[in-house]
Structure 1
Amino acid sequence: MNKHQSPAKATSAPALHLAGRPKLRVLGTAISLLEELRIRAQDDLGIEVTFDNNDFLTTQYKAAREPETYDIYDQCFHNLDIVWHWRAIQPIDTKRIALWDEINDLTKTGHIGPNPRLGLGDVPARKLYVQPNLALGDTPSRFISMLPTTHNFDSFAYRTDLVDNAVAMHSWGALFDERWAGRVALVDEPAIGIFDAALAAQAAGLMSFDDIGNMSIAEIDRLIDLLEERKKAGFFRGFWQTAEDAARLMMAGDTAVQSMWSPGIGILNSKGVPVEQAIPAEGYRAWHGGLCLSKNLSGRLLDVAYDYLNWWLSGWPGAVVARQGYYISTPQRSRQFMAPSEWDYWYEGLTAAEDLPGPDGLTRIKAGSIRSGGSYWQRANCIAVWNTTMDEHNYLVRRWMQLVGR
């Protein structure tokens, strides 16, 4: 199979066999709601697909309180608790997922290979399986809460031409290093930015946590107070919400060190900005996304939704997200839709043998580049904490909003 073939044959029977042209509404964020994916899904499945693209908090609120407004909820495992609590989504039957057995073990067990290090926080495996009492847990069952798809292992980035000591970039503590005062930025998303800050504060010896994946109110207060003190002193250049905003800060030279996602690094690479993603000794902050079914789905449209879920695992979508710097839960299916040089760079951690494109087809990675952190399997075994909705999430959100001024 070449990378231009339709992956539809790898899925269950497509929606095209149904009368008319069904319309599928997908609620999510910019992480995976790419126009390239929407158009291809329409073509391969013979349906109409609309994307409702919002920030994290808006997406989560709509998912929990307005399930009638979407058919598919495209989000991360750490956003599941609230949506599941409100019973806004329905269990997914793995018997209807054609490639369920091919999904790798990162979500099914929490780790890949012999390394038992699961990372702290919302390990996806602990929220994957629907238990007989409708609780979520890691005991395997036929039904799951979310179909595992896109994921990654994040840290922070630094401008190699502005940072005079790359050795100092081997720890999250760099985000609190006084040498970069006035040139540091954090991601503005409570359930994400708080962990970049916590890992930095702990690595810098400024505070410790009983459980960094589930902080107490006292720990949240102490950490936010620490951030507020530094913000008032001008330590932080800003707080960003999108990968594009993050890239602009670093491109302009406003920041030397900051939270960064892979698409932002790709943008900077394409512009020739000398940037590296750090490989923190403490481990990565990981996240895992997936697809959920609205509780209102049934009959014909439920069949269409399962077609869409199966399509996401079939290969071509995973190749697209790889060009963002993200991984897919069925990597070997996506390998068929990637050039050998792409697979070697994104998954094997090898030198790019040629210029590599982003999802939009434009060059994102220059020949000779090496992805930091090594192969997919090396990175997956170096997780410090997963993005998490903590027990005190509502309190955290209120304090975070005060911090960033919104």
Structure 2
Amino acid sequence: MNKHARLDLAAPALNTQGRPTLRVLGTAISLLEALRHRAEADLGINVVFDNNDFLTTQHKAAQEPATYDIYDQCFHNLDIVWYWRAVQPIDLKRITLWSEVNELTKLGHIGPNPRFGQGDAPVKKLYVQSNLALGDQPSGLISMLPTTHNFDSFAYRTDVGSAGANMASWAALLDERWTGRVALVDEPAIGIFDAALAARAAGLMNFDNIGNMTVDEIDRLIDILEERKRAGFFRSFWRTAEDAASLMVDGKTDIQSMWSTGINILSGRGVPVEQSVPVEGYRAWHGGLCLSRQLHGRMLDVAYEYLNWWISGWPGAVVARQGYYISTPERSRAYLTAEEWDYWYGGLPARSELPGPDGSACIRKGSVRSGGSYWQRANNIAVWNTTMDEHNYLVRRWMQFVGRA
């Protein structure tokens, strides 16, 4: 059954003879130079990264599918790209390690007593149905190969943030004691959930479904945030992990949205920082790889080789050193030292200094990753990053709030 025939495959592929060049469109989350160089060496190809912020990447993926071969993004950024048929289904018969991809992706949870987070759990958009809709009913085709993922919350300076405050709740992110010392991530489908989890935990408002807010709920939440902004509550809004870390390094914030890569930067700089383990649960995200609709022939083969390479072990070890997880963790275990595995996946104290993805030390001996093991963290998800039904409205309101409209 050839479902691919319904897609437009007219655009030419790059370099179909000789050493092919694979063009990967994505963000700084996974477009690391170490990965690019290793892929070139292992696969005998040229790899070109097109690195952008989330919104730029999503818009380019949807509107310019002939400019890339691989779309490296997150499940919550898939809807618009899939709607425009910018990417084609992935044939599971060509994914050699599919049986080893873990259940967090395939089922939405791990373990016997899981918390199935609200929002865009990857399984809801994983399988391609007979009518080309996306759903959780297993089929022979998937929309995106699951790769990197993590469980985020907020970070705070332990030298000031823990003084008389409950930092084990999202409510801390909107606590007025931090006025002028707070920052949020400036990406609508991410920052809105940090704010929503905080507002709900603080008792400022409730949601019928926090993963799919109504227009009225979006308005009420943005109104709360705008009132805080007018009072000088927010110091900044950031768009990259490096920018987030710089805010704390420069002494501008005490508490803020934060990603694992930012935590690692701060730890490496000696900044006393901790990621919160909110009792309400984490905001989770899951990345993956899509195939551009223009791929066929030799370049389609090359793209499948790249997809299989990504979950083969070595790349997962690199992303582990960023503080991220991979969908085939046992494959990556062989490329991590026992000390690295115990720290990043096992939740145990670091028995020695541990390197980041660039090889320099980023984890100090004795450090413990907040939240425990991978399996503990994966069972504490409140909501997944999500593109809601009212996403377009949310983007307009969010841009007005952060001052970009």
TM-score tier, shorter chain, comes to over 0.9
Aligned pairs for 1:9-158 within 5 A: 20-158=18-156
How far apart, in 1, do the equivalents of 2:192 and 2:159 lie? 28
How far apart, in 2, do the equivalents of 1:113 and 1:299 lie? 40
The question of whether the paired residues in 1 share the 8 Å contact of 2:165 and 2:172 is answered with no
Question: What is the CA-CA distance between 1:181 and the residue it aligns to?
Answer: 1.0
Q: Out of 262, 275, 278, which is 1:277 matched to?
A: 275
The question of whether the paired residues in 2 share the 8 Å contact of 1:160 and 1:166 is answered with no
Relative to the length of structure 2, the TM-score reads 0.95
| 2:345 aligned with 1:350 | no
The residue number in structure 1 matching 2:179 is: 181
How far apart, in 2, do the equivalents of 1:271 and 1:55 lie? 25
**Identical residues among aligned pairs (%):** 77
Question: What is the CA-CA distance between 1:92 and the residue it aligns to?
Answer: 0.2
How far apart, in 2, do the equivalents of 1:98 and 1:58 lie? 32
The residue number in structure 2 matching 1:251 is: 249
Q: Out of 236, 239, 242, which is 1:241 matched to?
A: 239
Aligned-partner residue type, residue 130 of structure 2: P
Distance 1:265 1:166, change over 3 A: farther
Question: What is the CA-CA distance between 1:20 and the residue it aligns to?
Answer: 1.3
| 2:402 aligned with 1:404 | yes
Q: Out of 365, 371, 374, which is 2:372 matched to?
A: 374
Aligned length: 389
How far apart, in 2, do the equivalents of 1:377 and 1:164 lie? 26
Relative to the length of structure 1, the TM-score reads 0.95
Aligned-partner residue type, residue 157 of structure 1: A
SS at match of 1:297: coil
The question of whether the paired residues in 2 share the 8 Å contact of 1:29 and 1:55 is answered with yes
SS at match of 2:326: coil
Gaps of 5+ in 1: 1-17
The question of whether the paired residues in 1 share the 8 Å contact of 2:314 and 2:332 is answered with yes
* CA deviations over 1:354-386 (Å, ceiling 9, x no partner): 111111111110011000000000000000000
SS at match of 1:169: coil
How far apart, in 2, do the equivalents of 1:242 and 1:313 lie? 25
SS at match of 2:166: helix
Distance 1:304 1:164, change over 3 A: closer
Gaps of 5+ in 2: 1-15
Cα root mean square deviation, aligned: 0.9
Question: What is the CA-CA distance between 1:19 and the residue it aligns to?
Answer: 5.5
* CA deviations over 1:325-367 (Å, ceiling 9, x no partner): 0000000000000011100000000000011111111111001
Distance 1:291 1:166, change over 3 A: farther
SS at match of 1:293: strand
The question of whether the paired residues in 1 share the 8 Å contact of 2:150 and 2:284 is answered with yes
How far apart, in 2, do the equivalents of 1:100 and 1:278 lie? 33
The question of whether the paired residues in 1 share the 8 Å contact of 2:211 and 2:384 is answered with yes
The residue number in structure 1 matching 2:195 is: 197
Aligned-partner residue type, residue 295 of structure 2: L
The residue number in structure 1 matching 2:170 is: 172
Q: Out of 291, 296, 299, which is 1:298 matched to?
A: 296
